[in-house]
Structures are given as C-alpha cells and as structure tokens.
A and B are shown apart, each in its own frame.
Chain A
Amino acid sequence: MQNIELTEDLMAPAEMDEGDREKISRPTRSAFQDGWIRLKQNRGSVIALVILLVLVALAFLGQVLTKNNYYDTNYSAILQAPNAEHWFGTDKFGRDQWARVWYGTRVSLLIAFVAATLDLVVGVTYGSISALLGGKVDSVMQRIIEVLIGIPNLIIVILLMMVMPAGIGTLIIAMSISGWVNMARLVRAEILKLKDQEFILAARILGTSNKRIILKHLIPNTIGVIVINTMFTIPSAIFTEAFLSFIGIGLQEPKASLGVLINSGFQVINSQLYLLLIPAVIIVLIMVCFSILGDGLRDAFDPRMRV
C-alpha cells in the first residue's frame, strides 16, 4: 500500500518533547474574542450595524444637508411630492419633510436611548441589590416586582402621560417607570445563578474579596445579559413612543418624532402616501436592525446558544 523506504534510522526511538503531549492544538480565545469573531461572521448583524450607524449619522447630519428646517411653514408649498427642493416632499403646512424626518428620527432615538439607559441603571441596581443582599430584602423586592409585572406596561405609560405635562421628558419617565422591571429580573436571575457556581465558590475559598468577586466575576459575566436586553429595550422604547404619539397622547405638533410624523402622514394617507411611508420605513429599519443585532449579539455571546 504505502511506498516507503524503511531504513534502520527510521526505527530509532523518536525524540519527544514532554510538553508536546499536553499541548492544545489550536490557540485558545477568550469568550469575548470568540463572541466578537462570531458576530463579525454573522453577515446580518454586520449589515444591521452599518444601517443603524448610517441612520444615526443622518439623524444628526440630515439637517445640515438642506437649507430647510423642520419648523418653518410655507403655505405656498404645501403637500408637495418629493422633488429637488424638498427631497421627501412637504407636509400640510409646507414644512420640509426631509428636515422633519431626520429631526423626528433624532428625537425618537434620543427618547429611546435615554429611556433604555434609565431602565438599565434602575434595573441593574434593583436587580443586583436584590440578588446580592438576598434574604428578607430580596423577598420584599421580589414581591414588589411580582405585583408590578402583573400590570400591562402600556397602561402605566398611558396613565402617566395623562397626568404629567406632555413632552419628551414625560415620555422618557413614563417609559422608564414601567420598563426597568424586566432588566431587574434578568440581572437578579443571572447573579443568583452565578453566585451558586463553582468558580465563585472557588474564588471565595481562595480568599478573594467581595469587591473583587463583583468586579472580576459578577460584572463581566452579567454584562452580556445586560447588553443584549438593552438591544431589545431600545426598539421597544422607539415603538412605545411612536405608538403613544400615533394614538395622540405622546408628543404633539409642531414637535416631530417618528410617531408624530406617521400620525400626520396617516391623516392624508389617501393622497400623500409618502408622508406616512418614509417615516414608517425608517422606524421599521431601526427596529429591524436592532432586532437582528440583538439576536446576533445573543447568539455570539451567549455560550448556551453555541452548537
């Protein structure tokens, strides 16, 4: 079978490096590098990230590209279809839709980011206090959450929106008051799970300080859950804002957000579909991209999802 020239020399005992035996054949990578590589391989996530960056850039720079602004009315140029002067056309007050769309996108993104950040701060604080202190404190904190979780979020938001003066700040506060519960539960569950694991026990036995355990073990291991959950809170905050504005209790004209724009577009849907369509497409793009990116991050960084 094999055509080998066998020589006496070949039969000599092989020299071997003892260390070679236990050598691991491929280089090891940290969980983060591993996840990052996987995320980069996920073409959908990369495209979603690029589209999001472009949208964010346009939200801030779109205004600069045109000499029109979002609030100037011009009654001689109302309800124009998209043209060279007004790239996305004009609305019923003759305002430039291009400027309004990007201004609205900026407002929507701002609301979503701030609301998500508040969720994150409150949720992570609440969840980790509950999990780390344990005992009676945990038990009371959990009962509170169990009551809150029974209330549909939107109801709380609607009620708060009615009580407080209309505006961006109110929207953000209303959404955060109901939104942090989910984050708190996730963080608590994750920390409780980690607390029981052997490597934390091992660290304790080795005499690692509490501070170090929190900094070196608990935070790095929960950060994935927090980031991924935030990736899903942002689009849901964008949706909630748009929804409230659409049913008429969110932001009001002449302010613009994607929800306000869709609402005013809907009023003239029969004749000027583009007034609805453009902000609708943008909100859909934002939500789709966040959703894909969130999925990609979860697949890339959640070791349990590894096949």
Chain B
Amino acid sequence: MSSLLEVENLEINLLTQNGTVKAVRGVSLSLEPKDTLAIVGESGSGKSMMVKGIMKLLPKTGRVAGQVTFDGKDITNLNDRQMRKLNGSEISMIFQDPMTSLNPTMTIGKQIIEILSEHKKMSSQQMRERALELLGLVGISFPEKRFSQYPHQLSGGMRQRVVIAIALACNPKVLVADEPTTALDVTIQAQILDLMKSLQSRVNTSIILITHNLGVVASIANKVAVMYGGKIVESGLVDEIFYHAQHPYTLGLIASIPKVHETASELKTIPGTPPDLIDPPKGCPFAPRCEKARKVCQQYQPEYTQISSTHRSACWLQHPLVKKQAENTSEKESRDE
C-alpha cells in the first residue's frame, strides 16, 4: 500500500470522574503523500483526540485501541522513546492557540532550535541559519530580530507563524494542524491558511487539518472526513462532499455555512446538541438530531456505504430497503397528485 498514514478502527477512551468518555469509536482513514485531509466536526466530536491518539499525546487517562501504520511501519505499539523519534521529525503538530502553545520564558529562536537539535545532527551555526530561514519561510519579517524575542512580543498571527515554522523545521512527512486558525482574527485566519497552502507545495508534506469550519475546507483540502459523535460519518474528495454529500449531518453542515450572496433572514442551524460520549446512543449518533431518522437509526449503528471509490457514508438512508421505501412513497405521492 502506498498510504503514508493508515488508521484502522481507532478507539480512544478517556477515564474521567464521571465515567469513561468514548471519545473516538472505531475510526479508519488513510492519508496519501501530498494529501490535505480535512477532518470536520463540531466541538466534542473526537477529532482532536483522534490525532492526539495517533501521536500518543493523550493525557495519562487516555486508552487507545486499533492500528496505526505510518510509512509502511506499524506504529501502534511503539514505546514512548520510539514515538519521540517520530514526533517532531516525521509527524508534527500545530496547535489551536498560538497564545498558549509557545513557552513564554524561552526565546523564539531557542524554541525553533530545540526541535532541530533533538532530531537533526547540525552544528549550532547551521541550526541558527536554519531557524532564520524557517522564520523567513513562514513570512516573518526581520527574522534576526524576532529570533531573540519572547513570544509575548509577537502578535497572535506571528506566533502562529512561529508555531508553523517549528512544526516544519525537520521537514515532516505529516503535518497535523489542530484548528490552526480558530483562535485568530478573521483577517489573520486567511493569511495563515494561505501560508499553509503555499508551504505545502514547497515542502512536500501531507496535512491533516482539523477544523469545525467547513468553509475553511474547500479552499485548502482535497479530502474531507466528517466526524460526529466519535465516528467518521462521511468521507470523500472535497468535491464529493461539497456537491454530492449523502449524510444528513454533512448536508446540515453545508447548509449552515453562511453565504454572502444569499440574504437569508436567519442562519441555518442543526437543532439539538452533540451526544454524550460517556453514554453514547445505541444507534446512529446523529439519529436524535436527524430529521430523516428512521426507526432503525435509533436501534442499530449504520455501516458504510461506498458511494464511489473515494466516497463513503455511514447512514441507513443509503440502505437499499430504505431507498426502496422512499421510492415507493414518492411514487405514491406523485400518483396521488
């Protein structure tokens, strides 16, 4: 297989005071070289936990099951020491809030050099040059000056650029970006996304972009996976998701993107709240909020229906029996008319 990253049946449980949170419940996905995979879902859908599970960055209370293959090697059972060799050099991560993800008592330069000295054999002069080069690469002016400054002396957008520079320092094969623009001003968000897009073509890295904003996805990703209640409910190429979405949740998400040219009186929303993952629903996690829910949806979890070789959706509405029934009803209706 040529997949760069292959995740099979990943399950993540978090032990908490109130019970076990089943944050991720059997997720499979694959990432090819040069892919940009967007994982979309609302808060608490398990998207962030999933990537942290892959990188073994979960808190001590986290339990992971399933299989993860990276670059042809099974990395599921790597110990901490082996995983540390991958993290930062082969797989790296950009965090949500640049205000908190940089160490406030360490200069920008040191924080970049730190990752280089961990993974690369370079002289201190080489590392300094590489750090300055990286700062330039992510579009920071006066790299020399910024190098010896502390994070609080930089704006949020600049800090996120620094975080990106750190993440790209060792030319990783996979870059995980966990809501990289959520904490930033809207004008800065676009800049950061543009930066990521242009960097991807230059440094040849695959990107996993986690976001709750489907609007962000279209411009940057080529693949999309929609997560809900700890499961991937629909995945496919970006066009398939945007123009041929099958799952009611995906449709709801698309409908709720505000459109500039429409003067809707009201923003469309999906009524209801995400499921409680301590005690997840027996059937489809989305069934309680789904307008098209059938009885079966509340009883049994749907399996994936392959819509094209790249597009699949987990929804009972794709089941032949439901389709047949739906046809019958619509025929009846048209006849009645």
Q: Which residues of A contact B (CB under 8 A)?
A: 1-2, 4, 6, 8-14, 16, 20-22, 24-26
CB proximity of B58 to chain A, nearest CB, Å: 16
Q: Are B319 and A14 interface neighbours, CB within 8 A?
A: no
With A1-B303, A11-B321, A25-B276: A6-B271 Cβ-Cβ less than 8 Å: no
A25–B274 Cα gap in the complex (Å)? 10
Q: Which residues of B contact A (CB under 8 A)?
A: 18, 271-273, 275-276, 279, 287-289, 292-301, 303, 316, 319, 321-322, 325
CB proximity of B312 to chain A, nearest CB, Å: 15
Q: Are B297 and A14 interface neighbours, CB within 8 A?
A: yes
A142–B63 Cα gap in the complex (Å)? 52
CB proximity of B302 to chain A, nearest CB, Å: 9
Task: Enumerate chain A residues within 8 angstroms of B322, measured Cβ to Cβ.
Answer: 11
CB proximity of B268 to chain A, nearest CB, Å: 16
Q: Are B296 and A11 interface neighbours, CB within 8 A?
A: yes
Task: Enumerate chain A residues within 8 angstroms of B272, measured Cβ to Cβ.
Answer: 21-22
Q: Are B288 and A10 interface neighbours, CB within 8 A?
A: no
Q: Are A12 and B303 interface neighbours, CB within 8 A?
A: no
7 closest pairs, A vs B, by CB?
Answer: A21-B272, A10-B296, A25-B276, A14-B293, A11-B322, A11-B325, A14-B295
A13–B295 Cα gap in the complex (Å)? 6
Q: Are B321 and A9 interface neighbours, CB within 8 A?
A: no
Known: A11-B294, A14-B293. 4 other contacts (CB 8 A): A2-B303, A10-B299, A13-B293, A16-B288
With A2-B301, A8-B321, A11-B325: A25-B279 Cβ-Cβ less than 8 Å: yes
CB proximity of A8 to chain B, nearest CB, Å: 7
CB proximity of A11 to chain B, nearest CB, Å: 5
Q: Are B292 and A6 interface neighbours, CB within 8 A?
A: no
Q: Are A26 and B294 interface neighbours, CB within 8 A?
A: no
Task: Enumerate chain A residues within 8 angstroms of B293, measured Cβ to Cβ.
Answer: 13-14, 16
CB proximity of A136 to chain B, nearest CB, Å: 35
CB proximity of B321 to chain A, nearest CB, Å: 5
CB proximity of B138 to chain A, nearest CB, Å: 35
CB proximity of A4 to chain B, nearest CB, Å: 5
Q: Counting chain B CB atoms within 10 Å of each CB, which of A6, A14, A24, A25 scores highest?
A: A14
Task: Enumerate chain A residues within 8 angstroms of B275, measured Cβ to Cβ.
Answer: 25
Task: Enumerate chain B residues within 8 angstroms of A10, measured Cβ to Cβ.
Answer: 294-296, 299
Could you list 18 A-B pairs, sorted by A, with CB under 8 Å? A1-B303, A2-B300, A4-B300, A6-B321, A8-B321, A8-B325, A10-B296, A11-B295, A11-B296, A11-B321, A11-B325, A14-B295, A14-B298, A16-B293, A25-B276, A25-B279, A26-B18, A26-B276
Q: Are A13 and B292 interface neighbours, CB within 8 A?
A: yes
Tell me the dominant secondary structure on chain A's binding face: loop
A6–B295 Cα gap in the complex (Å)? 11
With A2-B300, A25-B279: A9-B295 Cβ-Cβ less than 8 Å: yes
The A-B contact count (CB < 8 A) is 53
Q: Are A14 and B287 interface neighbours, CB within 8 A?
A: yes
Task: Enumerate chain A residues within 8 angstroms of B300, measured Cβ to Cβ.
Answer: 2, 4
**Nearest opposing residue in chain B for A38, CB measure:** B17
Task: Enumerate chain A residues within 8 angstroms of B288, measured Cβ to Cβ.
Answer: 16, 20-21
Q: Are B294 and A13 interface neighbours, CB within 8 A?
A: yes
With A21-B288, A21-B289: A6-B319 Cβ-Cβ less than 8 Å: yes
Q: Which of A1, A2, A14, A21 contacts B294 (CB 8 A)?
A: A14
CB proximity of A252 to chain B, nearest CB, Å: 52
CB proximity of B14 to chain A, nearest CB, Å: 12
CB proximity of A76 to chain B, nearest CB, Å: 62
Task: Enumerate chain B residues within 8 angstroms of A8, measured Cβ to Cβ.
Answer: 321, 325
A10–B283 Cα gap in the complex (Å)? 12
Task: Enumerate chain B residues within 8 angstroms of A6, measured Cβ to Cβ.
Answer: 296, 319, 321
Task: Enumerate chain B residues within 8 angstroms of A22, measured Cβ to Cβ.
Answer: 271-273
A9–B294 Cα gap in the complex (Å)? 9
**Nearest opposing residue in chain B for A21, CB measure:** B272
Task: Enumerate chain A residues within 8 angstroms of B298, measured Cβ to Cβ.
Answer: 14
CB proximity of B22 to chain A, nearest CB, Å: 14
Task: Enumerate chain A residues within 8 angstroms of B299, measured Cβ to Cβ.
Answer: 10
A10–B294 Cα gap in the complex (Å)? 7
A235–B295 Cα gap in the complex (Å)? 63
A24–B297 Cα gap in the complex (Å)? 20
**Nearest opposing residue in chain A for B316, CB measure:** A11
A225–B56 Cα gap in the complex (Å)? 40
**Nearest opposing residue in chain A for B289, CB measure:** A21
A1–B322 Cα gap in the complex (Å)? 19
Task: Enumerate chain B residues within 8 angstroms of A4, measured Cβ to Cβ.
Answer: 300
CB proximity of B26 to chain A, nearest CB, Å: 11
A16–B319 Cα gap in the complex (Å)? 21
Task: Enumerate chain A residues within 8 angstroms of B287, measured Cβ to Cβ.
Answer: 14
CB proximity of B287 to chain A, nearest CB, Å: 7
Task: Enumerate chain B residues within 8 angstroms of A21, measured Cβ to Cβ.
Answer: 271-273, 288-289
CB proximity of A22 to chain B, nearest CB, Å: 6
Task: Enumerate chain A residues within 8 angstroms of B289, measured Cβ to Cβ.
Answer: 21
A39–B301 Cα gap in the complex (Å)? 40
A10–B295 Cα gap in the complex (Å)? 5
A13–B316 Cα gap in the complex (Å)? 11
CB proximity of B285 to chain A, nearest CB, Å: 13
Task: Enumerate chain B residues within 8 angstroms of A11, measured Cβ to Cβ.
Answer: 294-296, 316, 319, 321-322, 325
Task: Enumerate chain A residues within 8 angstroms of B273, measured Cβ to Cβ.
Answer: 21-22, 24
CB proximity of A84 to chain B, nearest CB, Å: 50
CB proximity of A224 to chain B, nearest CB, Å: 21
**Nearest opposing residue in chain B for A16, CB measure:** B293
